[in-house]
Amino acid sequence: MNVINLKNQTIASQYLATELLKQLKTKPNTVLGLATGGTMIDVYKYLSELLNINQIDLSRVVTFNLDEYVGLAPDHKQSYHVYMNEHLFKHNDSWQKNNIHLPMGNAKDVVQESRTYEQLLCDIGPADIQILGIGENGHIGFNEPYTSFDSVTSVVDLAPSTIKANSKHFETIENVPKQAISMGLSSIMRAKRIILLALGEHKQYAIKQLLEGDISESLPASILRQHANVEVIVDDEIFQFNKYH
């Protein structure tokens, strides 16, 4: 696992946006694994700008998002459908709706929806690049501690700490969905290349565990140490913490 200190949010986000730009420019039919969360907002801002000024044709790019909240319709303000549209897809006309995939959190049968999503990912994937954030508890996607390393896309329960962390995006904590449809850990591991981005003091401990702890289902992100092509991008706050603690 290649760990790189990119000093701050701006440089780290610009780096990740540039890596995605290079990928999309060299392979027009790229399969991209996308993530949401506060960490990715600047990445998508820079990426949208770079895609536009380089006039990249995105019509053959296929995207798969990691997850979506169970119960939220695609037009719900806090859904990841809306997040992706607001932060990425609406900024370039050549993204093709039919090539954009997020689980339908309001599907009648969310278990079946998960199976269908996994099958599609198997048929079209693997992702050329999967980008990831990380939870304070070491989750990737919504795969909370003690999720099986063999997991595929499924309906998952959110950990209380995740519900609390994500409540800042909702009016009250009671409004935060308690479940999500999430790609599993083995689904994520099929990606050819993985770039994880972690920023800020609140991620220090998760990254320390990722780098120094055991490879264990207690820290879902630790599975990444078994992948041959992973970069972990951190800011200086996280890097210095790991150096001195």
Closest listed residue to residue 126, CA positions, set 227, 218, 56: 227
26-44: buried (b, 16+ CB within 10 Å) or exposed (e) per residue? eeeebbbbbbbbebbebbb
| Spatial distance between the Cα atoms of 146 and 99, rounded to a whole number of angstroms | 32
# of chain residues touching ligand PGA (CB under 6 A): 6
**Residue with Cβ nearer ligand PGA (38 or 126):** 38
* In the complex, minimum distance from the CB of residue 12 to ligand PGA, in angstroms, rounded to a whole number: 12
**Residue with Cβ nearer ligand PGA (58 or 131):** 131
137 is catalytic: yes
- What is residue 143's three-state secondary structure? strand
| Spatial distance between the Cα atoms of 82 and 135, rounded to a whole number of angstroms | 21
Q: DSSP E strands: which ranges in the chain?
A: 2-5, 31-34, 62-65, 67-69, 100-101, 129-132, 154-157, 179-182, 194-198, 230-234
Asked if 105 touches ligand PGA (CB under 6 A), the answer is no
The stretch among 56-64, 133-141, 180-188, 224-232 that binds ligand PGA (CB under 6 A) is 133-141
Q: Mask: binding to ligand PGA, 190-229, rule CB under 6 A, as x and -?
A: ----------------------------------------
* In the complex, minimum distance from the CB of residue 202 to ligand PGA, in angstroms, rounded to a whole number: 8
Closest listed residue to residue 151, CA positions, set 187, 123, 125, 124: 187
The stretch among 20-28, 35-43, 210-218, 221-229 that binds ligand PGA (CB under 6 A) is 35-43
Query: Which residues inside 43-102 make contact with ligand PGA, applying CB under 6 A?
Result: none
144 is catalytic: yes
Active-site residue, selected from the candidate residues 19, 144, 231, 237:
144
Q: Which helix (H) or strand (E) holds 44?
A: helix 41-53
Kindly tell me which residue out of 34, 58, 127, 134 binds ligand PGA, with binding defined by CB under 6 A.
Answer: 134
Q: Which amino acid is at 26?
A: T
- Site of tokens 């798969």: 64
Kindly tell me which residue out of 38, 71, 145, 213 binds ligand PGA, with binding defined by CB under 6 A.
Answer: 38
Active-site residues, by number, are: 67, 137, 139, 144
Judged by the rule CB under 6 A, the positions of this chain that interact with ligand PGA are: 37-39, 133-135
